[in-house]
A and B are shown apart, each in its own frame.
Chain A
Amino acid sequence: MRWLTFFCILLCVSLFQSTLMNWINLGLAVPDLYFPLILFYSFLSDFKQNTIANWFTGMAKDLFSEGGFGINSILFVAVGFFIWSVRGILYRGHLITQVLSAFIFSIIYNILYVAHISLSFHSLNFSTTLWVIFICSFYTAVLAPLMFWIFSKFQPTQMLFSIRDK
């Protein structure tokens, strides 16, 4: 895994997510561009690289976000580990797998994150929050194949489409 490439991708994703989201958001639906990165590295790399990449991605999200410093790194490492552990049973090269994985795991991540916020502030409206989780995860999932294609241009993906794992 090329770490310099990873950090460049992470910087670009952070800049895009923190400045240019007004261009692509659709009302409340804001895609989380960090999530396809988590999915990509969980599919692509080994356990240790995956953990480190997910931790740095979480830290980057925390740096550009209000709230607890470290919460996203913990959640991303946890979700990344879960994806990594089930990747053997998935056909990772297929577009549908990428979309469905992004959607399901994004929902899981968002529910965990919202649970953390709810414990701290008690101010989230249940139905609105569920709707936001659904549409944001859906939008993230729709963008996942495009993000995979962009990431695969910069990172070697020979492991991504192999059937047998190391």
Chain B
Amino acid sequence: MRTSTPSFGSLIKNPLATIIILLSISLVLLFLPPKLSGRIKATCVAPVRPLQWATCFCSNSVSNFFDRVISSWQDARVRNRLEEQTTQLKNKIVEQQDAIYKLQNKLTNLSKFQTENKNIKTNPIPADIIGYDTSNFRKSITINVGSKHGVKPNDFIVSNNALVGRTTKVSEGSSVVQLITDPASRVPGRVLQTREQVIVEGNASAFCSLKYVPRWAKLKKGDEIVSSDIGGVYPPSLPIATIVENEVQGGSLFQSVKALPKVNISKIESVLVITN
């Protein structure tokens, strides 16, 4: 009696075989080393990055345009005069103003960082945010600079001289930045006023929590958290967050502390990458 092994074509027609093959691929990808899976992700998503950049650019331009239109409505006299004189050139002016504003913002950030951090021998790279994380429980952004601009994994990201996060995946023209609010983020820090050493941990909300704050530490609302150079990833004295709430629960060894990050990521368009 002859028995024949099923061909791949007939196997793929079987729904159960299809689901087993797809789930096997997912499981293999899930258990790959993070470096390798990160590389696969970066390669797969690279063709979509220009589209993402274009969408983000259009969205920012439209947003800025609406902001200016709304602000011009608020000032009726200025609006009337502008409407009479520059109706035809209005869009062009808005576009140019937007470009100037963005460049000025970048220049101010860059010069402010360089004057305030003369002791850090690094080269800041200005970058635009081109994408956000698609998951509700992970916090990351995508920026438009990558390895060809000199960015490497674990470079840290600042905005307005405050810490935003660190690069985790770097491809040729873009990088993924893990924000300090991501559940996987741990940043060594220090309370500015009391010098207590803490770990700033993300919890997928707009706030961070501080780990390992002893119950006897005298913290109060408004205390500042700055980075510490323990671990060697982050430079010292970079502002991270402000304490908004602290509580000592029952017999626990550590305080429960909630901190608000210095940078509201939804309100910035560009960041600085500080190469390590």
Contacts and interface: CB of A to CB of B under 8 A. Distances in A.
**Do the two chains belong together in a single complex?**
yes
Given A48-B18, A70-B27, A19 B137 contact: no
B132 A18 contact: yes
B19 interface: yes
Contact of A124 (B45, B48, B55, B183): B183
A32 B183 CA distance: 19
A52 B48 contact: no
A28 B206 contact: yes
Interface stretch (B76-84, B97-105, B197-205): B197-205
Contacts of A125: 203, 205, 209
B185 to A, nearest CB: 9
A11 B48 contact: yes
B136 A15 contact: no
Interface in B4-27: 15, 18-19, 22-23, 25-27
Given A65-B138, A117-B183, A124-B137, A70 B26 contact: yes
B30 interface: yes
Interface residues of A, number: 51
Interface residues of B, number: 51
A110 B132 contact: no
**A interface, over-half SS:** helix
Given A48-B15, A124-B203, A125-B205, A67 B138 contact: yes
Given A51-B15, A65-B138, A65-B140, A28 B44 contact: no
B27 A74 contact: yes
Interface stretch (A56-64, A93-101, A152-160): A56-64
A136 interface: yes
B15 A65 contact: no
B26 A58 contact: yes
B44 A52 contact: no
B136 A23 contact: no
15 contacts: A15-B55, A19-B55, A22-B266, A23-B63, A48-B18, A62-B41, A65-B135, A65-B140, A66-B135, A66-B168, A71-B26, A74-B30, A77-B23, A123-B183, A123-B184
Interface of A: 11, 14-23, 28, 30, 32, 34, 47-48, 51-52, 55, 58-59, 61-74, 77, 81, 110, 113-114, 117, 120-121, 123-125, 128-129, 132, 136
